[in-house]
């Protein structure tokens, strides 16, 4: 079971031996998260929006892709980002917690507890908060350099808000000049909260990985089918294969000889027990 819609998981529901349970309803009282895309030039308006949410008694997640500035990557970091955000929302009027991967566990817990107990208004963080964080009063998730995150990660981060009964928002901030894949990821997040739809786009962009190996992404080079568009045919083929094995598990019957011959041609490189 996975809460994150990764391509591999979706692919395994088609060609793997998996049963699928679908939960497609929100818990009672929850509202769909409103997701918007904004460029860096719109930051003053974003900050004014955050100020208004805090005035309503809400809290804010503010996520950066890096802890510190990098000479190799033109990305906003948490350290410089805190300085930037605090110029718009200055302390002590606005109270901050900071969480990232270099902090000791006790330090992270202390910062998170301040935020959970509403002793701070804004949590400046890296992606360490993408799982296991539940603060129903937090209503806004801001993600800087959102174009650098994968769809599964964006979906997981967005899931930190929308946990209470109030309207929640996700603001995806990017640099201008998005590439084709970056634009596809951002527009998908803006247009849907449906994890299944997000998984399908992620599958299209990243591929499902190896059918007979452990690679988690990349093009699946089937010769006669495309896993994205031929799902019904592939599932029918899987059912046929399962029925065949029920009737001839060891492929000993004469009609199984061609299948056994083809299987013998597969290079002995696959560790079958490690496949998904």
- pLDDT of residue 233 exceeding 90, the answer is no
3-class DSSP assignment, residue 238:
helix
Q: What pLDDT is stored for residue 143 in this prediction?
A: 97
Q: Band of the pLDDT at 67, cuts 50, 70, 90? A: confident
* Residue the block writes with tokens 């495309």: 226
Give the separation between CA 162 and CA 152, rounded to whole angstroms: 17
- pLDDT of residue 76 exceeding 90, the answer is no
Return the H-helix or E-strand segment holding 11. helix 7-15
Q: Tell me the whole-structure pTM to 2 decimals.
A: 0.80
pLDDT tens by residue, 128-160: 998 778 999 999 999 999 999 999 899 999 999
- 159 by Cβ neighbours in 10 Å (0-12 / 13-18 / 19+) ranks as buried
pLDDT tens by residue, 174-212: 998 889 999 999 999 999 998 888 888 888 887 776 666
Counting every residue written for the chain, the total comes to 276
Return the H-helix or E-strand segment holding 169. strand 169-174
CATH level 3 topology of 25-193: Rossmann fold (3.40.50)
* Average pLDDT in the chain: 86
3-class DSSP assignment, residue 59:
strand
Is the pLDDT higher at 254 or at 23?
254
Peptide bond between residue 92 and the one before it cis (omega within 30 degrees of 0): yes
Q: How is the chain split into domains, by residue range?
A: 25-193, 231-265
């Amino acid at each position: 079971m996975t809460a994150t819609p990764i391509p591999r998981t979706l692919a395994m529901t088609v060609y793997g031996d998996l049963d699928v349970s679908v939960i497609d309803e929100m818990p009672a009282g929850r509202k769909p998260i409103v997701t918007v895309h904004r460029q860096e030039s719109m930051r003053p308006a974003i900050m004014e929006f955050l100020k208004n949410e805090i005035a309503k008694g809400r809290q804010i997640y503010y996520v950066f892709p890096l802890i510190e500035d990098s000479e190799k990557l033109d990305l906003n970091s948490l350290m410089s980002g805190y300085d930037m955000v605090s110029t718009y929302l200055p302390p002590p009027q606005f109270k901050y917690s900071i969480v990232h991967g270099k902090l000791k566990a006790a330090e992270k817990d202390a910062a998170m507890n301040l935020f959970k107990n509403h002793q701070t208004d804004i949590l400046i963080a890296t992606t360490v908060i993408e799982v296991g964080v539940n603060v129903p009063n937090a209503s806004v998730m801001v993600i800087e350099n959102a174009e650098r995150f994968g769809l599964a990660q964006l979906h997981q981060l967005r899931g930190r808000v929308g946990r209470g009964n109030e309207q929640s928002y996700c603001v995806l901030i990017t640099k201008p000049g998005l590439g084709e894949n970056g634009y596809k990821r951002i527009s998908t997040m803006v247009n849907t909260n449906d994890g299944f739809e997000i998984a399908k786009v992620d599958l299209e962009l990243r591929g499902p990985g190896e059918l007979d190996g452990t690679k988690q992404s990349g093009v699946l080079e089937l010769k006669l089918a495309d896993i994205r568009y031929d799902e019904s045919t592939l599932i029918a083929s899987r059912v046929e294969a399962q029925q065949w094995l029920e009737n001839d598990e060891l492929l000993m019957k004469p009609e199984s000889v061609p299948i056994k011959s083809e299987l013998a041609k597969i290079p002995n490189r696959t560790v079958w027990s490690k496949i998904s």
